[in-house]
Amino acid sequence: MRKRSSAADRGGNPGGASSVRRRALLGTAALAVLVALAGLLAFLTRDGRTSAKGRSVTVSSASSPSTAAASAAPGDRAALPVPPATHDPIVFGKAAASALWSYDTRSYAQPELLAALREWMTSEAKYADTASVDALVPSPVLWGRMADNGQYATASVSEAHFPASFSQALQADPGAITQAYVYAVTVSGQQSIGWNGSPAGGAEARSTTLAVQCRPSQNCALVGVFPTVSP
């Protein structure tokens, strides 16, 4: 029986100088622009929305985990993840995390999942850290071994919030957020993995901090995934 792959087995593109610079840019951009609480509140409360600070919304596996892969029992086929049309970084962050934690080797090929996830990325190349997203997708070789056993993963999101460091930085400079409208969002939930003959193979807690761009005139888009989780 095929044992589910561990996080250490997940493949990715080899890093280089360009990848290091882009990862540094991601961190620099996020720290530079996630510093405007007043601007953030104005942005999130327009059109009647309330601030997402301190908000915790639980999504059970019985309801839809997100617009990403739906629950996949043996015989089911999951759709590729499609980004939601939203201006709320919390809503987008939850959907993006679920998409990143979900896959189905029975339903599509590894390049198809990579292409689908890149549709979530910001079109502003100077901010997009595509490598940090690609690294979360199993490598082609590992994907092939997983596909031999019909391995798949679904995700449920339990909570999402702006990290404390993000909120503190927002208080420091009320105008910097308008430079790039990049928000840090920490998402927590669970990834469930199954394979042929073992639809309830196992489940693990997951947490990640994402950089999400939500310009007022555009739907939110993914900037990248931080290398560490920010509480």
The string of pLDDT tens digits covering residues 57-106 is: 222 232 333 333 334 444 567 899 999 999 999 999 999 999 999 999 99
Per-residue confidence (pLDDT) for residue 76, from 0 to 100: 62
Lowest mean pLDDT, pick from 39-53, 119-133, 203-217: 39-53
Task: Check residues 201 and 227 and name the one with the higher pLDDT.
Answer: 227
Question: Nearest Cα to 212, choosing from 174, 173, 178, 186?
Answer: 186
Q: One-letter amino acid identity for 62?
A: A
pLDDT of 17 above 70? no
- Average pLDDT of the chain is 77
Contact of 181 with 36, CB cutoff 8 Å: no
List, edge to edge, every strand of the sheet that includes 103-104.
Answer: 103-104, 152-161, 182-195, 198-213, 221-225
Spatial separation of the C-alpha atoms in residues 57 and 121, rounded to whole Å: 24
Per the rule left: phi > 0, alpha: psi between -120 and 50, beta: everything else, 181 is: left
Q: Which two tokens stand for residue 148?
A: 């031999």
The string of pLDDT tens digits covering residues 188-225 is: 999 999 999 887 778 999 999 999 999 999 999 999 99
- For the chain, the distance separating the N- and C-terminal CA atoms, rounded to the nearest angstrom, is 37
Q: One-letter amino acid identity for 169?
A: A
Q: How far is CA 40 from CA 21, 159, 222, in A?
A: 28, 20, 17
The highest-confidence range among 36-40, 94-98, 166-170, by mean pLDDT, is 94-98
Per-residue confidence (pLDDT) for residue 173, from 0 to 100: 83
Q: Which residue has the tokens 């460091």?
A: 165
**Please, what's the largest Cα pairwise distance for the chain?**
56
The string of pLDDT tens digits covering residues 141-158 is: 999 999 999 999 999 999
